[in-house]
Amino acid sequence: MKIAKWIISLVCAGAVVSGVVMLIVWRLNQDTNEAQQPQARQNSATTVRTVEAKTGSVQAWVFAEGTVRSGRREYLTFEDPGRVAFVRPSEDGGELREGEQVKAGELLAHQDQRSAKADLASAEASMLEAQTREGVARAELDQARTDAALAQTTFGRFDVLSRKESASDQEFDEAKAQLAKAQAAVTRAQSQITAAQAQVKAAQSKVDQATVML
């Protein structure tokens, strides 16, 4: 019985000793790994390449997408519908293409001008007619003023004769009536000139409008 207890005690002591030995060995391994880590980090340093710095121009390329538009654009529009009868040809004699350069004030395109030209011709004819009526009215005014001056002179004479009783009352009244009639003709001629001038302005407005449309 004593021998069995002694054997058990011996086994327990051996186990304790084995544990202590294993703990010491593990600790030594830990210290060794920690001591090797700085050297491992030193052995893994990054390799760099150096070049000599020089002065010079630097070029770089940038790739992108975008839409190109002209700084100034003008859309060709027509106020009235119609057939386009003329388009300015290109510099090479072909059709005018998008993007070609043009000059300010240059005729690029126009519609069929036959109707517009007819309207302009009609407006110019009306203008000429109105100017003719104005000229006739001015001539009539000149004649009316001449007649009025003569009637004024005649009336003055009969007025003097009537005062001297050298002319009858009928002659005096007729001279007075002729003077009134001549003065009314002057007033009527002046009104006709005013109306003719208004017609000339209206005709000129139509000519201007027809010119713009052309």
pLDDT in tens, the chain (214 residues): 545 555 556 555 555 556 656 766 566 666 565 555 555 555 566 788 888 888 888 888 888 898 887 777 777 777 778 888 888 888 888 888 888 888 888 888 888 888 888 888 888 888 888 888 888 888 888 888 887 888 788 777 767 777 777 667 777 667 777 878 878 888 888 888 888 888 888 888 888 888 887 7
Tell whether 147 is covered by a domain. yes
The domain that contains 206 carries what CATH number?
Answer: 1.10.287.620
How many Å apart are CA 214 and CA 116, to the nearest integer? Answer: 5
Provide the phi-psi class of 43: left if phi over 0, else alpha when psi is between -120 and 50, else beta. Answer: alpha
Tell whether 92 is covered by a domain. no
Tell whether 48 is covered by a domain. no
Tell whether 130 is covered by a domain. yes
Which residues make Cβ contacts (< 8 Å) with residue 167, sequence separation at least 6?
158, 161
Domain range holding 193? 114-213
Question: Looking at the 3D structure of the chain, how many domains does it have?
Answer: 1
Tell whether 155 is covered by a domain. yes
Tell whether 57 is covered by a domain. no
Tell whether 178 is covered by a domain. yes
Tell whether 94 is covered by a domain. no
pTM exceeds 0.85, yes or no: no
